Amino acid sequence: MTITGTTVTETRRLTVPDLARAPRPKRKFTVGGVVRVVGLGLWLVITLFPLYWIALTSFKSPGTINSFPLEYWPSEPSLENYVSLFQQSSFGVFLGNSALVAIVAGAVATLIALLSAYVIARFEFRGKGAVLIAFLLTQMIPAFIALGPLYSMMTDLGLVDTKPGLILVYIAVCIPFSTVMLRGFFENVPDALEEAAMIDGCSRLGALFRVLVPVMTPGIIAAFIFNFVNCWNELFLSVVLMNTDANRTVPSALNGFISTFNIDWGSMSAAAVLTILPTMVMFALASRWIVQGLTAGAVKE
């Protein structure tokens, strides 16, 4: 049977429905869905508004920061706070100190945690459970409890008010959390990969760095970023152990804008913006590896 006056293509157009033009099912709005969206929107506003206000204050001229009525958008944006921040203080030195301390401490702590997590995940030894419990308990102890013995020890070693001393303290602080974090990643990697590499002639360290480390790259990057952020934002130890401007880090510098009778809101807001930007850029560039790293060790296969 043939169809007169039509081609095969036209026949297909008549018989095959056009999915692009098909009516889409209407979304059903429920009370729970509306409440969820409104709640998330309010939470987003509450979370982002302090950051917006800090950035807004940093672009206001010093004479208009405390003006009334409040300005939610600067009528005359100014970079005066940023200029005075670098002219009247050593903020560039503070940024350099923070970057050096955070990068070195984060990298060394991640490397040590990688080796210790490998030992805990791959070997059975007496006291293994106690070691893990000790690592977890160190995260619950406030830093000021150990401040007296720590300061006395650092004084005896001549490491007070030195960047190497602060780096050593940060490494010790970051290792327990990074070890527990990376242990989950090691347990998610099959033992067969390491065994196959050792059969092919690799040593145990060779199998670790040539086979396991490339597989665990997302987890290692995630651990380093968490260590970097913790070292970059740490205030208490840096204030106690650093006494001179040549060795201060950014958090202790921010604390210096608060005096007994005055708070320099403009300069402090500008410094806060410059302090937040590196971590925001790092998380934005490495977000893919962070998500992969956090989910890689979640389930053991």
13 pLDDT tier (thresholds 50, 70, 90) = very low
pLDDT at residue 3 in the model: 45
pLDDT at residue 296 in the model: 55
Distance between CA atoms of residues 263 and 255, nearest Å: 10
DSSP letters, 245-300, are: TTT--HHHHHHTTB-SS-B-HHHHHHHHHHHHHHHHHHHHHTHHHHHHHHHHTTS-
Angle between helices 265-285 and 91-122 (to 10 degrees): 40
pLDDT at residue 25 in the model: 62
104 in helix, strand or coil? helix
Residue 242 CB burial class (10 angstroms; 0-12, 13-18, ≥19): buried
Contact status, residue 212 vs residue 193, Cβ threshold 8 Å: yes
Q: Is the peptide bond before 62 cis (omega within 30 degrees of 0)?
A: no
Q: Which pLDDT tens digit goes with each residue over 16-55?
A: 455 555 566 666 667 777 888 889 999 988 988 988 888 8
What pTM was estimated for this model as a whole?
Answer: 0.78
Distances (CA, A) of 246 to 95, 161, 250: 11, 9, 12
Contact status, residue 213 vs residue 194, Cβ threshold 8 Å: no
pLDDT at residue 24 in the model: 63
Q: Which pLDDT tens digit goes with each residue over 205-237?
A: 888 888 888 888 888 888 898 899 999 988 888
pLDDT at residue 228 in the model: 93
Given a cut of 80, is residue 258 above it in pLDDT?
Answer: no
Given a cut of 80, is residue 108 above it in pLDDT?
Answer: yes
Six-digit token string for 2? 């043939």
Q: Which pLDDT tens digit goes with each residue over 277-296?
A: 888 888 777 777 666 655 55
